[in-house]
Structure 1
Amino acid sequence: MSLPNFVLLITIVSCCHGAKILLIPTPATSHCLEIMSIGQALLKRGHHVTLFAVLFDPKSCIGRLDKEAFKTTFNVIVPDLDPSMQKTHEEVLAAGQKVIFSRGGMWKMFLNFLKPMLQNHCSAAMKDRVVLEGLKKGNYDIALVSRMPGSECLFAIAAYLGVPTVVASSYIDARDSGMPLQSNTFPHLMSSFTNDMTFPERLINTLLIFATSIVFKASSTSTDYSVLGDKLRDVDASQLVRDSVLFIENSDYIIDYPKAVFPNFIQCGGLTASPANPLSGELKKYMDAAQKGVVLVTFGSLIKGFPPPLIEKLMAVFGRLKYQVLFKQDKEEIRGNIKTMKWVPQNDILGHPNTKVFISHCGKNGFWEALYHGVPIICMPIHAETFTTAIKVKKYNIGSRIEIFDDTVDDLFEKISRVLENKSISQNMKRMSRLLRDRPEKPAERAASAVEHVIKYGGNHMRQPPVCFVSYIYADVWLSIAVIVSVIIAVDIWICRKCCCKGKSDKKHKTE
């Protein structure tokens, strides 16, 4: 066979076996980066991938993609929306930022920020019927959908398209995936516990799991999915989530605590982490010239800007350090040893040998990138799961935690200096890095393999049997045991009483 014919045959075979995959992320860059990392791994395997981008700029999460290499197999679909929806999205983000910096707490953040944001996102995702009809004609094999409390509507869209779903998220609730109840060994996302809990902590943790489920269900608003068709008029979107064929969580037992899962639940911690690309230009010169080392400071994409007093507090701390400080901010300037930039290639800088410490809000992607490259991390938690991540960092002694609101400049300087000078923290982080990287497949590749498996074979053979809430919490088992024990005790007491009464009766007859 000639070489041209061989190449043509390979191309035909690849096209025949390439699946069509739809990505539906929530409107947050970090979530899009997670799901897009899996999409990129699938693209490299010859599949066709489409990103459905609603209320966010897709450029923010496809920057690492080689667009030229995948120009025939990758597509971005952006619905044509009323400008008011984008305006509402931006207003909700601004309101959420105020809640965060007013220290409103997790519940207030959910009710005043996350819930309105996702409600607006749901309306926008279902608004453009022309785009949805186009997606339906795309005949996708499977949809990868981001999961957050309130994002059930995205699974209804997948149901409208008639495709099975894969849940992809930084955290997946146990009730969504059918994971066994493990309140005695696995702390709730909103708790301050580790996996080593005392009895009072286990009790509180169990109650918190049930309370969170009740609050989320009570605070959720019913969405009219009939706009997608009469078949979805009375659909239970939460059940659509639970019916997903696969659950991919951006987590790993080495840091997120071991837990019991079913075969359709895959842990792929470090989805966005990868070997560092070489730096270039002025940034390369800056990093290479920092002989004592560089402290990288970024706080993710969700928070657009810190209040000026907090920025000045941080600048005062950084100015006292003996290291160069690279600070992602909304302006570019050099102030002493501090260089601020509007955008930084976070993963690539973390992979540079002169990076000594990473100061972050401890979002999942940044945390995993720091762990992948073995860079100690200092958490400044301000929202969502960042508080839980900070607890794990302290437990495993791979960094520290600072409190931007409560710590003084002296406190912050002391905590940062302690991490920079502590060799055991650096050694622990490098050990964690080796544990993460010593795997047959990279996280995104492991996720892609699982997706290919369910495309080929389905997911029923990996699914746990359905159980009701009473069975899920073992209430029927413990109630049965309690009844049996009570009956045995009651019978024993009855027998004892009969024996005692008979003894007294016999003694009375003998006396007479």
Structure 2
Amino acid sequence: MVFSSSVCIFLAIFSLHYQQQVHAVKILAVSIPSYSHVSESNAVAVELVKRGHQVKFYFPDDFDSSQCAPDIPSIRYGQNTIYHVINALDKVSELAADGKLASFSFMQTVRKAICAQIINDTTGLEKLREEKFDFAIVDYLFFVKCNLLIPYNLSIPFAGISSAIVLLDAGQPISTSVSPFVFTSYTTNMAFHERLINTVSHIMNKIATYYLLEAYDYSKIAPGLSWIELQQLSKKAEIYLENSDVVLGYPKPLMPNLIQVGGLTVKPPKPLPKNIQKFFDDAKHGVIIVSFGSIYKFNDNLRNIFMSVFQKLKQKIFWKADEEKEIGNVWITKWFSQNDALAHPNTKLIIYHCGNNGMFESFYHGVPLICIPHAADQFMNSRKLEYLKIGRFFDIVDLTEELLQECILDVLGDPKYTANIKHLSEIYRSRPETAAERAASAIEHVIKYGGKHLRLNQVDLSTFQLLAVDVWFTIFIMLIVFIKIILFILGFCKRFLQSKRKVKQN
């Protein structure tokens, strides 16, 4: 099995950490300024600090990190541009609610907003140089890449971290028949037309990244670096940490430089606040948690559909939204710890947008899901529910009272969903290391030894080589030439025999 042949190798390699003493180093964490992204990197940062290293984040001035990275110090951007990102993502959410979101527009909007901050902040980069960092952990988004300019500018090695890594960027030779592209909603079991589209998606992503996405001026922090060279910076990471897991996903062949560390934000629960604890304890028929993250905004029509269905249920509803009020069995609140709430024994279901971190938290605590995705990898995450039989999903444009109520009653009424997710949760919990420990051990390994021995000679391998497109194209041309030669020989023989017959007849 892929898990036993790849992940176990890492457990063997990185268990050497406990026999080796890695000297304390200064590590820079560069993250996309959003709660979910920072939470992933923060989990690794906290573990590295426990092991004696110094870690600092690089954040915009206006980004509030008190909820997602409270214990890790930060260096701040010199520009107050975080609101450009927030406004861009708000626009994306509005499009998603109306069913108008396209992946390419999402990529363009987010990339422009984030890169505008990074490439113009020469003051912040000067602060980073003064710190003299030894290593960087960089939040990787395959359609952004400008984060990678920071370790490039500082001339330090780095590790990439992400919930969704494009395998070709990490130098992984892949099989497009079993490795779905991140922005498709395919599972590992693909029909022919899906395999065809999936293969084209992998290739078109590289073409779009290199040639179709609008270039930006990054000469202030990387003078002389070409656009093609910028796209290839991703292949220079010492290792990649992917917030994924074979148990909550699809097995795939991996080279040793990509390590699955799914569930970075998962942790044992803390006690709930007394008023929330009482709300959950008093729920005789259980509690349904509703959470769509910190970005997604409901319009009035969607909110009314949800409220109408919830008030018909006997379960209590604990809903994270942008206000504080109670209506019947529904408690709407601005903030709560989702991980802690999921751990309560009366939690029966979560209705969610299928962001990666929350999926792992639900998975860890054995709570089935109903997912309504609206952007990025959430569509692929949603399909995993159906593939693993641990919940239901549907598109936001299909939302009706009837559909929502039918899905809720199905997941609550059919014990297979809860049984399946609890079984998979047990497998996941059986690991000897937590995801954060596994990630920190991998980083310490490459800090001490480098990562060259873990990866292919990536810089020299193009996308077409990794996909073996050049090989299959050559085989195709050779086959055509061979067929043409055979047809030529057969035609020559036919003409020769015909001429002999004519000679005999004469």
**By the TM > 0.5 criterion, same fold?**
yes
Can you give the 5+ residue segments of structure 2 that lack an aligned partner in the other structure? 1-19
One-letter code aligned to 1:97: S
Aligned 1:284-433 pairs, distance under 5 A = 284-303=277-296, 305-433=297-425
8 Å contact from structure 1 (residues 93, 117) kept in 2: yes
Q: Aligned to 2:169, what secondary structure does the other structure show?
A: helix
Please give the secondary structure, in 1, of the residue aligned with 2:289: strand
Alignment partner, residue 76 of structure 1:
74
Partner of 2:8: none
CA distance in 2, matches of 1:500, 1:330: 82
CA deviations 1:381-437 (Å, max 9, x no partner) are 112111111111012110111444423213211210110111111100101111211
2:102 is the counterpart of 1:106: yes
Tell me how far apart the structure 2 counterparts of residues 225 and 505 of structure 1 sit (CA, whole Å).
72
* Displacement after TM superposition at 1:493 (Å): 5.5
2:92 aligns with 96
Summarize the Cα distance change of 1:485–1:402 in structure 2 as closer, same or farther, 3 Å threshold.
closer
CA distance in 2, matches of 1:271, 1:505: 79
Match of 2:48 in 1: 42
* One-letter amino acid of the structure 2 residue matched with residue 292 of structure 1: H
Q: Which residue of 1 aligns with 2:466?
A: 472
Counterpart code for 1:222? A
Find the counterpart in structure 2 of residue 11 from structure 1.
none
- Identical amino acids, percent of aligned pairs: 35
Q: 2:218 and 2:166 mapped to 1: Cα distance? A: 23
1:266-281 matched pairs, under 5 angstroms: 266-281=259-274
Structure 1 residue 296: Cα displacement? 0.7
Question: Could you say if the C-alpha distance between residues 504 and 408 of structure 1 is closer, same or farther in structure 2, counting changes exceeding 3 Å?
Answer: closer
Q: 2:206 aligns with which of 190, 208, 213?
A: 213
Q: For residues 291-347 of structure 1, what are the alpha-carbon distances to aligned partners after superposition, in whole Å with 9 as ceiling and x for unaligned?
A: 3211111101222x3112211211111111111110111111211111111101100
The answer to whether the Cα contact below 8 Å between 1:248 and 1:267 also exists between their aligned partners in 2 is yes
Q: Which has the higher contact order (CA 8 A, sep 6+)?
A: 2
Q: CA deviation at 1:128?
A: 3.9
Alpha-carbon deviations, 1:210-237, whole Å to 9, x = none? 2233234344232333312646577822
SS across alignment from 2:66:
helix
Q: Is the 8 A contact 1:293 1:324 kept in 2?
A: yes
Paired position in structure 1 for 2:275: 282
C-alpha distance in structure 2 between counterparts of 1:486 and 1:422, whole Å: 55
Task: Write the distance in 1 (CA, Å) between the matches of 2:387 and 2:129.
Answer: 48
Rounded Cα–Cα distance in structure 2 between residues aligned with 1:117 and 1:504: 70
**How do 1:122-137 residues align onto structure 2 when only pairs under 5 Å count?**
122-137=115-130
TM-score of the superposed pair, with normalisation by structure 1: 0.87
- Secondary structure at 2:317 match in 1: strand
1:440-480: per-residue Cα shift (whole Å, max 9, x none)? 21111111111111101001111112323442332332244
Larger Cα-atom Rg: 1
Q: Is the 8 A contact 1:224 1:233 kept in 2?
A: no
Counterpart amino acid of 1:101? A
Amino acid in the other structure paired with 2:217: D
Specify the alignment match of 1:32 in structure 2.
38
**Aligned AA (1:191):** T
SS of aligned partner of 1:103: coil
- The aligned counterpart of 2:247 is 254
Pick the aligned partner of 1:481 from 467, 472, 475: 475
Q: Is the 8 A contact 2:371 2:394 kept in 1?
A: yes
Distance 1:507 1:243 in 2: 69
